[in-house]
């Protein structure tokens, strides 16, 4: 709703950036953490099914914006998305429930009157990073995958306009919706595979396949400036499918190296750290484009290299 009335850059930054980022994290982190209270053997599938909603929302909201904004304007398009989110979040707040015995026992410190500083101190706990090598290795791997995954998602449409052969803007922006189409099954199926073949094993597989997709499908036409709509569509759908595991399986991997009563705090701590990867990765990508004179080859190589690092990170985490 604040975004719908924004006209200046700082207003967009405060409404969509600061308020949107804070609220999205406050919704997502406890939601996926709560799933770990109720599932063990099928936790990967359960989390994957829950996270498919992110892909469905990505399809719905991107196409609402793409086709409705030219008709009724940007402001009312954002308000419609706001009303949809209001109803969905209301239902979510009524249905989301933690498991009582998964909540840590109350200590004397917890009985004191809570304040913002004490809540933040308990919500983000860095001590396990020093005491638990498995958690440290997993957090490092999640940081690397979060750094890598948002670069193609952010720049795929811009790169398509710059390197595509006769691609119009609407076709290029439609790639975001197609990427989300691929991510819907891509968030559920890896979760099912993770329950059968190992969560870290599947993360290694998805990171390896995303690396191949970037270097084999996205990079060649970008270098030659000959990106065609079929090639970009194939990359968007396939990358959306295999990159979906970066959203749905990372909290499951964290849960595997945590006690049930620690899942919420450890997921929150890990995502707090990995958020810096998402924060700096996209601007660095923009700086690479500027340094290349508007070319996207360096950006694609940079994205692929960080996926290689993420692959190595999950191999190391699995070994630990």
Q: State the angle between helix axes of 199-213 and 297-319 in degrees (0 to 180), rounded to the nearest 10.
A: 160
Residue pair 182/244 in contact (Cβ under 8 Å)? The answer is: yes
Residue 159 CB-half CA count within 13 A:
37
Query: What pLDDT was estimated at residue 115?
Result: 64
**What is the number of other CB atoms lying within 10 angstroms of the CB of residue 49?**
16
Helices (H), the chain: 9-12, 20-38, 43-72, 74-95, 108-111, 116-123, 127-131, 133-163, 169-197, 199-213, 219-224, 229-243, 245-248, 250-256, 263-291, 297-319
Task: Identify the pLDDT of residue 142.
Answer: 92
Cα gap 199→110, rounded to integer Å: 34
Class of residue 308 by CB neighbours under 10 A (exposed 0-12, middle 13-18, buried 19+): middle
| Two structure tokens written together for 196 | 């059968």
Encode the chain (320 residues) as per-residue pLDDT tens digits.
Answer: 999 999 999 999 999 989 998 888 888 888 888 887 888 888 888 888 888 888 888 888 888 888 898 899 999 999 999 999 999 999 998 988 887 665 555 555 555 566 666 666 666 777 888 888 999 999 999 999 989 898 998 898 888 888 766 677 777 888 888 888 888 888 888 888 888 898 899 999 999 999 999 999 998 888 877 777 888 889 999 998 998 888 888 888 888 888 877 877 888 888 888 888 888 888 999 999 999 888 888 999 999 999 999 999 999 999 99
Q: How far apart are CA 316 and CA 240, in angstroms?
A: 25
What is this structure's pTM?
Answer: 0.80
């Amino acid at each position: 709703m604040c975004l719908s009335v924004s006209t200046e850059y700082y207003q967009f930054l405060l409404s969509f950036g600061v308020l949107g980022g804070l609220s999205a994290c406050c919704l997502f982190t406890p939601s996926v953490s709560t799933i770990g209270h109720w599932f063990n053997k099928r936790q990967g599938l359960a989390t994957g099914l829950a996270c498919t909603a992110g892909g469905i929302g990505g399809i719905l909201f991107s196409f609402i914006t793409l086709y409705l904004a030219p008709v009724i304007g940007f402001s009312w398009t954002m308000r419609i998305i706001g009303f949809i989110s209001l109803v969905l979040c209301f239902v979510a707040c009524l249905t989301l429930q933690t498991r009582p015995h998964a909540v840590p026992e109350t200590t004397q410190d917890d009985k004191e009157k809570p304040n913002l500083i004490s809540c933040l101190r308990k919500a983000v706990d860095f001590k396990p990073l020093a005491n638990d090598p498995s958690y440290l290795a997993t957090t490092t791997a999640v940081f690397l995958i979060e750094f890598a995954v948002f670069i193609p998602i952010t720049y795929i449409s811009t790169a398509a306009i710059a390197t595509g052969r006769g691609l119009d803007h609407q076709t290029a922006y439609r790639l975001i919706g197609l990427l989300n189409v691929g991510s819907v099954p891509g968030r559920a199926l890896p979760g099912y595979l993770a329950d059968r073949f190992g969560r870290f094993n599947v993360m290694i597989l998805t990171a390896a396949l995303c690396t191949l997709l970037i270097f084999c499908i996205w990079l060649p036409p970008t270098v030659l400036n000959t990106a065609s709509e079929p090639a970009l569509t194939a990359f968007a759908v396939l990358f959306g499918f295999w990159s979906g595991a970066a959203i749905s399986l990372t909290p499951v991997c964290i849960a595997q190296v945590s006690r049930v009563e620690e899942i919420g705090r450890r997921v929150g701590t890990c995502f707090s750290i990995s958020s810096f990867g998402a924060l700096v990765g996209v601007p660095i990508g923009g700086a690479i484009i500027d340094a290349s004179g508007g070319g996207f080859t360096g950006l694609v190589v940079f994205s692929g290299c960080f996926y290689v690092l993420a692959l190595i990170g999950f191999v190391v985490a699995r070994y630990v």
